[in-house]
Amino acid sequence: MDVRRAAPCAAHNEPAASRPSQTPPPLDREAALFLDVDGTLLDIAPRPELVRIPAGLPQLLDRLGRERGGALALVSGRPLRDIDHLFRPWAGAAAGLHGAERRRANGDRASRRESEADAAAARALAELRPRLAELTRAIPSTWLEDKGGTLALHYRSVPERQPELRQMTEALLADHPDHLRLIDGKMVLEFQPRHHGKDAAIAAFLAEPPFSGRCPVFVGDDTTDEDGFAEVNRHGGWSVRVGSPAPTAAIYSLPSVAAVHAWLAGNPSEKPERRRN
């Protein structure tokens, strides 16, 4: 048995009834750590460019990565360029655009030939861009974030329009069901290539050093993270959902971004909540 893997995974592998709560145990230095960004490391802002980077967070990421020999990756819906801008000077392993972009721990970009699925998804997104732009003009206070590889319709200022917007975006998706999927996130509806996901990004990291042979831990907060939770669960790892109780595949929970920072730093000063199904 791989002792390095067994130690950090041990608490998760116990029967659920034997755990007094769904609070994640102290983070093991031998774990492979995967972290979402918005809603997990950063409090969500009205617009992505308005997020606040807490003092010392890039330094904390650097320390956590060094303790694990580089086995720490940010896994985000943001492009890699945005991740690097937010957390500079930290520049470790990361997956952007829900896994469409990936940088290894050694700094190399994972090379990938454009597949027919990539090309078909790009054509579908190109067809949807003007239609989504027209939708935002028709519904004030909504706006379109064009990430290149995904399209995100934000409605944080008009949450009461969610049912209507969901219906309209589902109608748009109906023209491209084989190439795109629609993710209903926190005040955002995002069109993504169907063949990409945070689960595949995490699996790719786990297949290579320095992540291979370690227990995976993934912390996220939104529906876009559920694929990642399922992936680390398949590996016998720890999945941790951030926020108020909600249906989820995650095994553990933390109530807030502040609680995530405290847990990562090894100082759980904010009491985590037990998940309620």
How much is the pLDDT for 113? Answer: 65
How much is the pLDDT for 35? Answer: 98
Q: Which long-range contacts (CB under 8 A, 24 or more apart) does 246-255 make?
A: 247/277, 248/275, 250/220, 250/275, 251/12, 251/22, 251/275, 252/22, 252/23, 252/24, 253/22, 253/23, 253/24, 254/23, 254/24, 254/219
How much is the pLDDT for 267? Answer: 66
Catalytic positions are 36
How much is the pLDDT for 276? Answer: 38
pLDDT tens column, 12-24:
544 443 333 488 9
Is 116-193 the same fold as 30-105+196-264?
Answer: no
What is the fold, at CATH topology level, of the domain defined by 30-105+196-264? Answer: Rossmann fold (3.40.50)
116-193 under CATH 2.60.120, yes or no: no
Low-confidence ranges of the chain (pLDDT < 50): 1-7, 13-21, 269-277
In 3D space, the residue among 52, 47, 128, 37 whose CA is nearest the CA of residue 83 turns out to be 37
How much is the pLDDT for 55? Answer: 92
Q: Which long-range contacts (CB under 8 A, 24 or more apart) does 174-182 make?
A: 175/124, 175/127, 176/124, 176/127, 176/128, 178/120, 179/117, 179/120, 179/121, 179/123, 179/124, 180/121, 180/124, 180/125, 180/128
Would you kindly state where each structural domain of the chain is located, as residue ranges? Answer: 30-105+196-264, 116-193
The whole-model pTM stands at 0.86
pLDDT tens column, 190-243:
999 988 899 999 999 999 999 999 999 999 999 989 999 999 999 999 999 999
How much is the pLDDT for 141? Answer: 95
Round to whole Å and give the CA distance between 65 and 229.
Answer: 20
Round to whole Å and give the CA distance between 34 and 140.
Answer: 36
How much is the pLDDT for 187? Answer: 93
